[in-house]
């Protein structure tokens, strides 16, 4: 007669085999999409972009980590840490992570981003003009950013996918101030940072081409435990600042930075962001940079841009 322990062992093995089958199906989907990409030599995935070509392609230069923006005074929290910790504890309970800790990345990150935005909108110390702007803020999920560029003396279509996009206006005018790329695995925040940087570079150059007054773009690459904040400033210099979710003070720093970036976006949204002589056309029309939300089938294949084509 089988014991309860025996049944549990069988159940665990079954769950493990099922998870392996799911991974195999995902790998098959990746290979299918990968083959499609190889068939189109004009498409360049962000993961295949050689980063030493940022300067000739986008006129971007590496700034310093001591950029004044990273050493500024950050806005006070609109969110109590104990409230967020309670939400994250609920996430931990709802998601089984014994064999697949990566499954926790997305729900943790969604909880952090959504909670920060909701409480940021409710902050009592928010000026009325900014509060009005923030009412329209929302997270858009899984967005493609694409732009035709000259890469190695050839015209290529650079494609990137961001997992979360803080939208405050029309997609045609690239009215976003924060793009977030989620790592596919724990410890993968650095790779996610470079994916985010390239999508940011397209948005930044499009804003420059359209004559926008404030061309700053913020980004985040993270596995929900390691946070790589990125900035491309108005001088076309990029820098980043890394914080780990490992202490109360660091968690305060992470939420404070997110809150401040949202308020900076609200300031931009409440002012006229473009010169009058270019305002008759959208930023996308002028620059050729387009952002579109992925359709359901594409969302299933989201990881295609994490594949290396080299």
19 and 140 assigned to the same domain:
no
Q: What's the confidence (pLDDT) of residue 182?
A: 95
151 and 292 assigned to the same domain:
yes
13 and 114 assigned to the same domain:
no
How many domains does the chain fold into? 2
161 and 289 assigned to the same domain:
yes
Classify residue 58 as left (phi > 0), alpha (psi -120 to 50) or beta: alpha
5 and 132 assigned to the same domain:
no
Q: What's the confidence (pLDDT) of residue 135?
A: 81
The Cα-based distances of 104 to 89, 90, 114, 238, 268 in angstroms read: 11, 11, 16, 30, 33
109 and 163 assigned to the same domain:
yes
34 and 129 assigned to the same domain:
no
18 and 113 assigned to the same domain:
no
Q: What's the confidence (pLDDT) of residue 243?
A: 94
Q: What's the confidence (pLDDT) of residue 266?
A: 82
165 and 252 assigned to the same domain:
yes
Q: What's the confidence (pLDDT) of residue 32?
A: 47
120 and 204 assigned to the same domain:
yes
Output the pTM of the full model.
Answer: 0.80
Q: Which domain holds residue 24?
A: 1-39
Residues of the chain short of pLDDT 70, as ranges, are: 1-41, 65-66, 73-79, 96-99, 124-125, 271-279, 296-310
9 and 50 assigned to the same domain:
no
Q: Compute the distance between CA of residue 25 and CA of residue 93 in angstroms, rounded to an integer.
A: 26
Q: What's the confidence (pLDDT) of residue 38?
A: 47
The Cα-based distances of 105 to 112, 140, 190, 243, 261 in angstroms read: 11, 17, 15, 16, 22
35 and 47 assigned to the same domain:
no
Instruction: Enter the tokens of residue 132.
Output: 């009005």
């Amino acid at each position: 007669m089988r014991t309860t322990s025996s049944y549990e062992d069988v159940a665990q093995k079954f769950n493990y085999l099922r998870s392996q089958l799911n991974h195999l199906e995902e790998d098959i989907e990746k290979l299918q999409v990968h083959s499609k990409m190889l068939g189109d030599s004009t498409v360049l995935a962000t993961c295949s972009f050689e980063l030493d070509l940022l300067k000739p392609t986008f006129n971007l230069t590496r700034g310093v980590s001591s950029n004044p923006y990273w050493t500024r005074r950050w806005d006070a929290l609109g969110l109590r840490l104990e409230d967020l910790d309670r939400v994250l504890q609920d996430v931990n309970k709802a998601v089984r992570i014994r064999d697949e800790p990566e499954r926790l990345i997305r729900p943790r990150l969604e909880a952090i981003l959504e909670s920060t935005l909701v409480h940021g909108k409710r902050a009592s110390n928010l000026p009325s003009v900014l509060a009005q702007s923030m009412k329209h803020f929302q997270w858009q999920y899984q967005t493609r950013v694409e732009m035709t560029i000259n890469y190695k003396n050839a015209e290529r279509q650079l494609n990137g996918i961001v997992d979360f996009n803080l939208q405050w206006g029309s997609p045609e005018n690239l009215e976003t101030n924060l793009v977030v790329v989620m790592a596919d695995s724990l410890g993968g925040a650095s790779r996610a940072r470079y994916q985010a940087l390239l999508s940011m570079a397209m948005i930044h150059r499009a804003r420059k081409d359209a004559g926008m007054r404030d061309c700053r773009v913020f980004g985040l690459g993270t596995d929900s435990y390691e946070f790589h904040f990125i900035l491309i400033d108005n001088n076309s210099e990029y820098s980043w600042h890394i914080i780990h979710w490992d202490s109360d003070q660091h968690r305060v720093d992470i939420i404070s930075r997110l809150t401040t970036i949202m308020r900076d976006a609200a300031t931009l949204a409440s002012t006229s962001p473009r010169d009058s002589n270019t305002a008759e056309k959208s930023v996308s029309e002028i620059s050729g940079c387009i952002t579109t939300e992925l359709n359901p089938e594409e969302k299933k294949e989201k990881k295609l841009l994490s594949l290396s084509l080299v």
